[in-house]
Structure 1
Amino acid sequence: MLKQACAALVLLGASGALQAANAFPSTYTPVASQPTLLRNATVLTGDGQRLEQADLLMAGGRIEWVGQGDVPPGTQEIDATGRWVTPGLIDVHSHLGVYPSPSVDAHQDGNEMSDPVTANIWAEHSVWPQDPGFGKALAGGVTSLQILPGSANLFGGRGVTLKNVYSTSYQGMKFPGAPYGLKMACGENPKRVYGQRNKLPSTRMGNVAHYRAEWIAARDYLDRWARYDAQVEAGDEEATAPLRDLKLETLAGVLQGEIIIHMHCYRADEMMTILSLAEEFDYRIGTFHHAVEAYKIADELAEKQVCGALWADWWGFKMEAYDGIQENIALVDRPPGGCAVVHSDSAEGIQRLNQEAAKAMGKGRRAGMAIEPEHAISWITANAARSLGIESMTGSLTPGKMADVVVWNGNPFSVYSKADLVFVDGALLFDRDDPARQPVSDFELGQLQGVKQ
């Protein structure tokens, strides 16, 4: 396998840069924090539980316990009476940093439209940590988010999962241990972009032909590395390593199950085609994004345990988005295996993911589905973490997980509710009542200095 081959090359003294998994590593370090006890809150754990008048202890950057337990000396106590506590919110589809504010041409770094296949690009290399949108998202309770390239290409490149913290570099924001995602797109976007240039693909059948050709090339790439590895293990001193290919390296990571597919796709028929393509080349689709027709194939998605990252009510803005319904999220959220996620794809929407989830919950209820807050919160916490492959580390208030926690001034599914306190790894990074804990980016500081107070 590719990992083994790369390891063999290192033993032979070749460049360690061949190990893409170690390139641009996370340098994230949690902010120091003291043990903190939240007292007497309504707690939505993210995994289906609702606890009334409950306590929660954070210590060492982790959830220590929920309900009751020992309180260490020196613990800071916060009275959360009348307030609600949830896991930190997670947005699985964001372009903050790659399409930052202000929206000017110089900041348009999200779509590399030079080729329909740009699996070699990594979104993190465009992320501008000074984007004011990160702080605005934190004020909305978002503690983690995936930054994706745009959807102009069939293979758009790698996405990156970030902790929503201040840093001078994107590496200081990279979620430690999070797997990479590969952004792909089907349907109108790639065929329109390249069809207008009189290039392939210009049709949906051209899209699929291109996917298949690239997966064939990726399988051949893996085979060449495997043959080389076998030669090295057999003691062949004349073995020649295959030439490294950054596009195929990413696709090979998908085939090995190390990189998660995040597929921009609207229509049910196209999603079924993509699922068949995954069977042909023996890889797995992680999440269909946008997917306004996911409700039509909800059973198939649940059976294959594919998540749907969806909008509450954004549809009809182009032909492939025409057949959307507002009950989509509630219908995709079906046991067993169903994985409904509320996402933003918007610098504004990310600030109110809780309200987007509330709209979906309301539409589901009006359609006769009993959806309670303790369940709906999973759409923006636990299910989102599952989509990103980080569910063992965050997404619920499970003891031992990261202490990414939001204290709301009321029911988070009320239009009147706001995040009062936001903790990331147990550190209080946002406090609505304390201007000193309301992040302002370096870019904003530079602008505000010129404004008369």
Structure 2
Amino acid sequence: MRKLLLLGFLLSFISVKAQVTFPTNGVKDERPDIYAFTNATLHVDYQTVIENATLLIKEDRVVASGTSVSIPQGATQIDLKGKHIYPSFIELSSKIGLPDASSSRSRNPVYNPEIKGAFNANDAIKSYFDAVSEFKMNDSEADKLRKAGFGVALTHSKDGLVRGTGALVALRDAKENEVILKEKASSHFSFDKGSSRMDNPSSLMGSIALIKQTYLNANWYKNQDELVDLSLAAFNENRSLPQFFEAGRDKLFVLRADQLGDEMGVQYIIKGAGDEYQRLDEIKATNATLVVPVNFPDAYDVEDPFNAINVGYDDMKHWEFAAHNLKMLNDKGITFAITSDDLKDASKLSAMLEKAVEAGLSEDVALKALTYTPAQLLNVQNDLGSLSNGKIANFIVTDGSPFKKDTKIYQNWVQGKKHEYTTLDTEDLAGKYNLSIDGNSYDLEVSGEPGKQSFKIIINDSTKWDVKSSMKKELITLSFMPEDDNFEGKLRLSGWKTENGFSGNTQLASGEWVNWTAERTGDLETKEDEKKDEEKKEEEEDEKDEIGDLIYPFTAFGQPEKPKAETILIKNATVWTNEDAGVLENTDVLLDGGKISKIGKDLSAGSARVIDGTGKHLTAGIVDEHSHIAISYGVNEGSEAITAEVNIEDVVNSEDINIYRQLSGGTTTSQLLHGSANPIGGRSAIVKLKWGYGPEEMKIKGADKFIKFALGENVKQSNWGSDYDERFPQTRMGVEQVYVDAFTRAREYEAEWKKYNGLSKRDKANATAPRRDLELETLVEILNSKRFITCHSYVQSEINMLMNVAEDFDFRINTFTHILEGYKVADKMKSHGVGGSTFSDWWAYKFEVNDAIPYNAALMNGEGVVTAINSDDAEMGRRLNQEAAKTVKYGGVAEQEALKMVTLNPAKLLHLDDRIGSIKEGKDGDVVLWSDHPLSIYAKAEKTIIEGAVFFDADKQEEMQEAIQKERARLIAKMQGDKKKGKATQKPTPKSNIIYHCETEIDFFSSLK
């Protein structure tokens, strides 16, 4: 009965390929291919293993597996005793069979799309691209993946922000019609605009904003009939597919991709960079499935101590941690698939996975990440991901675990078709033999890997005769030239395999036939074996070595634990309250629950941590109204005159060492501003410098929203070179017109939405909602005092102009930053209600600054303008207390008023003075304990505290520096050990960090190449 059921099951699997539309040249062979693989260790899936099993396949499908499979008549039987069968792997990140995109950049700015046709307004939106339409099987590339164990690949374009659809293809040499498993299997995104030569976007935040706007445009496009946009039409069609986002670069890019998806209502499958372990909690919170590369870095060659200096602390630690990434993700409960995509050679996959397994990743999890998980993500689990009945016959035959670099893949069967790499019946003949020819004996040694073994006759330690060999199944042929007196001429031995060696005949030069035998006498004892034993011993010793601490952030001065709020009592300090109480001598301040709880004398400590402030000064944390630290990949989106859609909040860089450096100077809060490349720049981020915390934890929740405007030379591209003479505006008059036009359009946009929102339900159902426009929405927020302007400014005429424009549109400028001619218009600023955030003594660094004076801050302050001093510079942000002190010298500003210029006044400009900027009960516990008078050049920030947590402690600095040196020394010694063992190393390359200023322009996309 069982045989009848099996026969019926086999007959039900009539291959679709039997009905191909291509004509046959000759006699059509319609006999089914049925193979039975017997006596194998069968890994049906990542959690099911059957010993001595049979796998039965018919055509391209698995039809039975187990220990009692009935093999039908006519099936080809293959004995796999001692061998393993695993499901072939699935590669989720590939561009196999697709053309490479041109990436030439235009020297001149390109503002309009170059792709002809009814496509999107931006060439980086390539949602119309379908991989299936361009796919051409490249068998040489497919073979590389097959040799690494892959049977299927998701191929997709790696060009553009929105990249179109991917096709799922089987990796075998056949017509494209036969290997395409799913024509539209996925939709793809990235932060890299690729081959687009358009200027926009020019920054990471620009990429993010453009993708967001494309979602909104596509939403509108569904319900309109005004225009045809094939890009948006395809975008909407592709939304039902699994959505893949190639984040790349580092773990923060994963978080950014997920945040973008959350805003747009999409859960992406995100390809990371392999360093996700550095932000596990944040990655876990995304709920995203990851596609994780295994391109673990080689050790650095640090023999030369000067070369070692060029290796960053974070790079050293990543080298040690990288192989642990997969285990740590799994331990955290994060689902992931594994990709070979970032490896220079897919053949390195097994070596990388061996490292991951040695680091604690279970082989079951590794197999799941290469088979089951990819199949599920693509919704093809009914066909792929395991070898259960009915699945496509994609499997590899190995001599052991595919997660060991020395494991051989004999065959990779794809869609039931064999690809052979090592002959299955090849036997390991290595060993010592006694070769006897007509009574004359020789020592014969066979070495090397099966199928590639070499034969030598050993005379003594220094004399060896090469023996040519050839084997075909059981038959063997040997030939060599004897160099003794026993024989004349070349000997050609022909024979066959015996139970303990070989036997056969040879014809001597005389024509006489004689017998020969080669009896095995023992195993080889080679230096290679000794070396392997020594390496194994060393590796076992290495396994006992513990890796260093995981630190937050993962760079110098990171700590194993993020700072936590404490109950802290600071006693007997000189307290600069910035309130009516003024400066209080010998006063205690209690921080509790992240807030300033009590201020007074002889406060009770209770269980609080006590810090002795005797002889020291306590101030509110410094607030920097204008900073460009902690921003990733571009401070300017200068590609257009108005880029109000971009947002610094999208690109906060929590790993920037300047955060820690500025904490050491007492700065606790910063407004991270867009640069000054255009009249209306991007939205800002207001953050607390919580070193060790992630980007979202740094942002101040509930803070008012701000945006950067700019005036002067930068916005009209005065110093950009002769190629930049096309973008409007090119004059200061044009700058004014940009503002007038922008706010006029914003009013019209607002009116359009008000009209739509005022319709009845019935009328709304028959109307098309206006298109949401992130740029105009932001400008409407300004008109309605829901977002506030910080404006880069120098010259009084332009300052007056912008105040007049704002008043014409019935709103007010919040802050003029730089404002170096503020002293000329301070009365008008006071009347308008705008504050000034300036430099203390910068002047004459460009033409429009020639009239700057160091008395500027004092004069504005004296006129009643809320005046702050900002940094605009990573270095200056470490000493803003000293910048404030200069106003005492230049203008005779009172000390307490001078201190307010870097504490309470910038807090007022940011609308945060109810929370920070002064020491008052109920405000945030953001304080700095100084060693001396806070305006003194001798004052050092001893402790910088944010919301009751100590983020900088000068008392621990020496200890931390010693720990870093000790850790570097340990890692250097470990890398030297790798080099000594002959492992691959890489040459150290110094890295440069760009310090952003207002005018900094970089090509974000060139850094991705």
TM-score by length of 1: 0.85
Separation of aligned partners in 2, 1:260 and 1:362: 32
Structure with greater proportional helix content? 1
Which residue matches 1:289? 817
Residue identity matched to 2:588: D
Which residue matches 1:6? none
Work out whether residues 429 and 438 of structure 1, in 8 Å CA contact, stay in contact via their aligned partners in 2.
Answer: no
SS in 1 for 2:715: helix
Which residue matches 2:571? 39
Q: Aligned pair in 2 of structure 1 residues 246, 448: CA closer, same or farther (>3 Å)?
A: farther
Which residue matches 1:384? 906
Q: CA deviation at 1:304?
A: 2.5
Larger Rg: 2
Q: 1:107-186 residue pairs with structure 2 within 5 A? A: 107=633, 109-167=634-692, 169-186=694-711
Which residue matches 1:343? 870
Higher mean displacement: 313-322 or 232-241: 232-241
SS in 1 for 2:890: helix
Work out whether residues 812 and 833 of structure 2, in 8 Å CA contact, stay in contact via their aligned partners in 1.
Answer: no
Q: Deviations over 1:313-368 (max 9, x none)?
A: 011111211101111111111364x2110000001000000010011221112xxx
Count of residue correspondences: 414
Q: CA deviation at 1:302?
A: 2.0
SS in 1 for 2:740: helix
Q: Deviations over 1:142-194 (max 9, x none)?
A: 10101111101111110110110124642221111112211010111111257
- 1:273 pairs, out of 801, 817, 839, with 801
Separation of aligned partners in 1, 2:659 and 2:823: 31
Residue identity matched to 2:755: R
Which residue matches 1:199? 727
Separation of aligned partners in 2, 1:236 and 1:260: 32
Q: CA deviation at 1:451?
A: 6.6
Work out whether residues 654 and 694 of structure 2, in 8 Å CA contact, stay in contact via their aligned partners in 1.
Answer: yes
2:623 paired with 1:90: yes
SS in 2 for 1:413: coil
Q: 1:293-312 residue pairs with structure 2 within 5 A? A: 293-312=821-840
Which residue matches 2:950? 428
2:736 paired with 1:208: yes
Separation of aligned partners in 1, 2:803 and 2:870: 21
Q: CA deviation at 1:69?
A: 7.7
Residue identity matched to 1:274: L
Work out whether residues 430 and 437 of structure 1, in 8 Å CA contact, stay in contact via their aligned partners in 2.
Answer: no
Which residue matches 1:63? 596
Separation of aligned partners in 2, 1:93 and 1:160: 11
Which residue matches 2:882? 355
Separation of aligned partners in 1, 2:637 and 2:779: 17
Separation of aligned partners in 1, 2:705 and 2:967: 33
Separation of aligned partners in 1, 2:715 and 2:678: 5
- 1:76 pairs, out of 600, 609, 614, with 609
Separation of aligned partners in 1, 2:749 and 2:728: 23
Work out whether residues 293 and 323 of structure 1, in 8 Å CA contact, stay in contact via their aligned partners in 2.
Answer: yes
SS in 1 for 2:758: helix
Separation of aligned partners in 2, 1:299 and 1:65: 39
Separation of aligned partners in 1, 2:765 and 2:641: 39
Separation of aligned partners in 2, 1:448 and 1:185: 48
- 1:315 pairs, out of 815, 839, 843, with 843
Q: CA deviation at 1:64?
A: 1.0
Separation of aligned partners in 2, 1:292 and 1:404: 30
SS in 2 for 1:428: strand
2:900 paired with 1:375: no
Q: 1:16-31 residue pairs with structure 2 within 5 A? A: none
Q: CA deviation at 1:62?
A: 0.5
Which residue matches 1:16? none
Q: Deviations over 1:261-311 (max 9, x none)?
A: 000010112111110000011121010010110011112222332111100
Work out whether residues 571 and 611 of structure 2, in 8 Å CA contact, stay in contact via their aligned partners in 1.
Answer: yes
Q: CA deviation at 1:448?
A: 8.9
Separation of aligned partners in 2, 1:115 and 1:362: 42
Separation of aligned partners in 2, 1:259 and 1:44: 32
Q: Aligned pair in 2 of structure 1 residues 219, 436: CA closer, same or farther (>3 Å)?
A: farther
> Identity rate of aligned residues, in percent?
35
Separation of aligned partners in 2, 1:140 and 1:358: 14
Which residue matches 2:995? none
Q: Deviations over 1:370-428 (max 9, x none)?
A: x3322211101111011112111111111111000000001011111110011100111
Q: Aligned pair in 2 of structure 1 residues 216, 438: CA closer, same or farther (>3 Å)?
A: farther
Separation of aligned partners in 2, 1:69 and 1:232: 66
Residue identity matched to 1:256: N
SS in 2 for 1:34: coil
Q: Deviations over 1:36-60 (max 9, x none)?
A: 1111111111235111111111111
Residue identity matched to 2:597: E
Q: CA deviation at 1:235?
A: 6.9
Higher mean displacement: 391-400 or 237-246: 237-246
Structure 2 spans left out of the alignment, 5+ residues: 1-218, 220-259, 265-281, 283-561, 974-1009
Residue identity matched to 1:87: A
Q: Aligned pair in 2 of structure 1 residues 64, 292: CA closer, same or farther (>3 Å)?
A: same
Which residue matches 1:17? none
Separation of aligned partners in 2, 1:437 and 1:123: 35
Q: CA deviation at 1:83?
A: 0.5
RMSD over aligned Cα atoms: 2.9
Separation of aligned partners in 2, 1:69 and 1:80: 13
Residue identity matched to 1:426: G
2:581 paired with 1:54: no
Q: CA deviation at 1:449?
A: 7.8
Work out whether residues 232 and 239 of structure 1, in 8 Å CA contact, stay in contact via their aligned partners in 2.
Answer: no
Which residue matches 1:403? 925
Q: Aligned pair in 2 of structure 1 residues 143, 211: CA closer, same or farther (>3 Å)?
A: same
Residue identity matched to 1:320: E
SS in 2 for 1:421: strand
Q: CA deviation at 1:240?
A: 3.0
Q: Aligned pair in 2 of structure 1 residues 405, 154: CA closer, same or farther (>3 Å)?
A: same
Which residue matches 1:221? 749
Work out whether residues 756 and 764 of structure 2, in 8 Å CA contact, stay in contact via their aligned partners in 1.
Answer: no
Work out whether residues 942 and 953 of structure 2, in 8 Å CA contact, stay in contact via their aligned partners in 1.
Answer: yes
Higher mean displacement: 230-239 or 41-50: 230-239
Separation of aligned partners in 2, 1:385 and 1:240: 43
Instruction: Show structure 1 runs of 4+ deviating over 4 A.
Output: 232-236, 436-440, 444-452
Higher mean displacement: 430-439 or 202-211: 430-439
Q: Aligned pair in 2 of structure 1 residues 147, 275: CA closer, same or farther (>3 Å)?
A: same
Q: Which has the higher contact order (CA 8 A, sep 6+)?
A: 1
Q: Aligned pair in 2 of structure 1 residues 437, 207: CA closer, same or farther (>3 Å)?
A: farther
Q: Aligned pair in 2 of structure 1 residues 170, 445: CA closer, same or farther (>3 Å)?
A: farther
Q: Aligned pair in 2 of structure 1 residues 344, 445: CA closer, same or farther (>3 Å)?
A: farther
Residue identity matched to 2:592: A
Q: Aligned pair in 2 of structure 1 residues 400, 251: CA closer, same or farther (>3 Å)?
A: same
